[in-house]
Chain A
């Protein structure tokens, strides 16, 4: 057959090829139709698919391709024009769609690819987060362990417990095989094994501190991995298998002195202990970073806990010491109080007990002096008198001083004549000075007031003491006494910082300067002068007989008078000057009436001192009656004599001003008469004064008189002057009891 362009019959002779083409086309069409169906099915199923348009395009493209292949089935045989046109349309459409699809895919495929990369990225991220999560968990775990450890460590203040607990807890937390603490020895040159976890009571291994490994650990505050062969790590006997990793960390031992407020402890001068931790030998575990951090934190906590424990120990010790001291002080105070009380009691007793015999000795010695004595006897008596006077002075000084120290002494203030004080001192000192051929001069400033208010007796005592010292310590030369009113500038130059003079209108400061040309005083000894009992040995004054109290008492008197006293001397042999400043008051008006009562000798010396004074004298003894009468007559009194109590009672009247009764005569009940007279004269101004005359010098008589109601007591023998003054006093004060 020849080929022609006409459409070939339906079943060509190449039947097999045709058949296979026919079948393939059929299946292609089928596939092409089913793929979009599947696509649609799965797209419907999936929730999110952003490229629907693409799918539609793709579906259209496939459908059209299928359609093309399907229509191709009809073109194997003769087909009509319609089929041909349909075929053409289908192909054209297919071509269009496929071109469009191809173009679209250019845009879409990169997008699709990027989805994949994003997925990969997210997966990586998730893995990373997982890792980090694991880390955080481990850290948190570590933190929990640390807190727990710290809690355990800080729950006690006992050093030993702290350390032991640390090791135990660390061992538990980190599952250690061995944990040890090496402490520095006293000398600081070695580390001694102090605590271990597994071994009880480690026997003192020591390791010298200047090992390179140890230095390395000490120089950093991190936990450092060290070799298991290092001496500090060799805690167990050598094993055959691999020992676990060892880590060492320093534990600072803080001292009290390290805690400065503004200056946190420097690392240079510190003592460290070494903590060594060993992992189990055959576990192949490694030290993780978080475990190292845990160890470091624990080491710091331990350091702090230890220092707290040390501080506590210290403060407990200090407190115990303080309590002991308190007890001792209390005891001492009580002893001192007892001693003071004992001394006061003693003084109170001795005051009276010592003075009474002294008084007796002095009085009787002076009486003895008045009697007839041979020269040797007179000498002896004078010596006795002088010695007892000295002794009396000493007793008085001691008692005065103790009263001064107690602060119980008070000044007897009164108005007195200042000039008279100085004259008196001069008079008293002149005899001694003239014996020693010393010339004494007194210079009173013209502006010195004549009268002043102060304690006259003590001022005189003080001035006398100073002048006496001047005389005592001068062998030759002169003594000059100057007194003047101190001005403010001269007041300030005194060497006492605590002496603050205050000038006021009604006071003035008296300044007395006593200069002598005697043996002088070493300036170094001057402060000791005013301390009691401190004698100056060097100047050979041992014979001077001073008790060492005089200046001390003077100083106290001067202090009471709000003044100051000091001594200046240029040295031995150059004499010295004693300067005294005291505060005295200015009397408001120098009123005659305010002056102390000077007992004036009565102008009428004799007869009419008591003109016409009616007195009654009762005395059984004729002679003494007569004598008393004579006395009273001489004084101008009108005397009535009676010899018995009845007569007395009979004759006594309100005209009699005084009744003198001799009461030591037995047979006359003087007390009875007194009472009867009291009864007789109820009004006091009418009753005569009742005075007892007695030779009895004992207190009992005096007390009896007072109790009976007598107004007075006189001791016989009565001299004329005595009677005169007694009557004066009696009539003025209406009472007179002679001191017995």
Chain B
């Protein structure tokens, strides 16, 4: 038997296809998966089964669908794949033995057939298989499914609406502006939703303001030029400017512990360590891994850490715990050519340093005009715990430590 499909072509612009699908049985398409209980621990023989879902519930892969309680140990029975619970083969609170067949899981992508399968029940067949279309154009989502003619429509099982508005199939590229006066709606990705949530949270929580300053990068540029080769030879990585800023920030944070602290409820939590979050490019976007205990690191350690994170980010192997925590963040807009700007605080921290591009500018030095490579820096801080004075002095300290790194040794 084959699936019957009716293709009707509308005269609307954009040629929308509508599919009518019929249910068919075919032994080739078998999407029912058996869920078996694993062996019980500690050679226990019996347990009590507790069902956590109902027949017809949709489950994700690894989601718990039942638990077996043996004498004090609870064993979780998880779905081996995403799907819908077709049937439970045990009764809730029954005594069971290990290896018992707990449930049947329908893993086909199409949810509807589960309810339509109930219409087949009178024929005595418990197992029903849904049809998988092999037609490549079926990858377009179905606009509407209609049940086989004459079959009872089962409305008892709750179903998610499958309907998509016809507009979705209008063929415009969301990334191009072509002037045809059409819109495309694209659902926000999880990552984007999370980012927007966190940004708003930061805005709604902190009393955010930004103080600015500028840094004369001449000494840093010269220092880097002078020692670049030696550094590369010894450490096998390039000496950049990030290490100078990261170390300068760490020294400034050690000097001004309030900037390294954070508000928690009605308490201020001071930390005796400096963990700096540094933005790194990854194929998925910007990620912010944390360099830990920067107060104990030198430039080489810092460059190495950034380099390692960069590699991991490129490969996509950056573990989530490396992005957790951090007492301060440094964001570098300068790589894109930014001149000036206000970064946003990375919760749950209290301040963030924004670095911008290095541009030659005329500046006044001892009454004379000179051209120097200058960088504007911005410190956005939470005014709830950091006062203006502290913020300004903190940023000035960073300026000092970058403009003349020897001052870090003087502890002034």
Q: Do A and B bind each other?
A: no
Chain A residues with CB under 8 Å of chain B are: none
Chain B residues with CB under 8 Å of chain A are: none
